[in-house]
A = this chain, B = another copy of it.
């Protein structure tokens, strides 16, 4: 039997308040991603991450803790899947790596139809502590499914009405 604890991604997500993270960030990597399929709690994502193509399969009801399988694919094939196989135009963002308290946070600055949205996430291992939150970490949105990238792909941030609650 495979090790069932393998391939588990544990993460938490926060809105970003202010620009305090920028002075610590790397130069950023442009990401374009689309979803080949989403069925129930399974999602299959194709991503251009800088010059890499990456195919990712995620499954799990709990946004904090999902099974994840990730594979490198040739960049040209990733581009072809983004253009020809995905149902919507790619979600676009720039990802910055930001060291804080001995860990690396990822800050995503969204573009296009999600312009204006800035989110930070931190991944950690089973049983690990998240550590101290940086002071630029705003409201936690880990459990708000609207902020899943797969949700933003179909229902971009710019289309949310004020009636849908505070951003």
Q: Chain B residues near A39 (CB, 8 Å)?
A: 37, 39
Does A79 sit within 8 A of B, measured CB to CB? yes
Does A44 sit within 8 A of B, measured CB to CB? yes
Q: Chain B residues near A71 (CB, 8 Å)?
A: 55, 71, 73
Q: How large is the interface on A (under 10, 10 to 19, 20 to 34, 35 or more residues)?
A: 20 to 34
Q: Chain B residues near A44 (CB, 8 Å)?
A: 36-37, 44
Q: Mark A65-80, 1 if CB is under 8 A from B, else 0.
A: 0010101010011011
The answer to whether A69 touches B81 (Cβ under 8 A) is yes
Q: Mark A56-90, 1 if CB is under 8 A from B, else 0.
A: 01010000000101010100110111011100000
Give min CB distance, A63 to chain B, whole Å.
17
Taking a contact as CB atoms closer than 8 A, the residue among B37, B57, B77 that contacts A7 in the complex is: B77
Closest 8 CB pairs of A and B: A37-B37, A2-B80, A2-B76, A37-B39, A59-B85, A2-B79, A69-B77, A71-B71
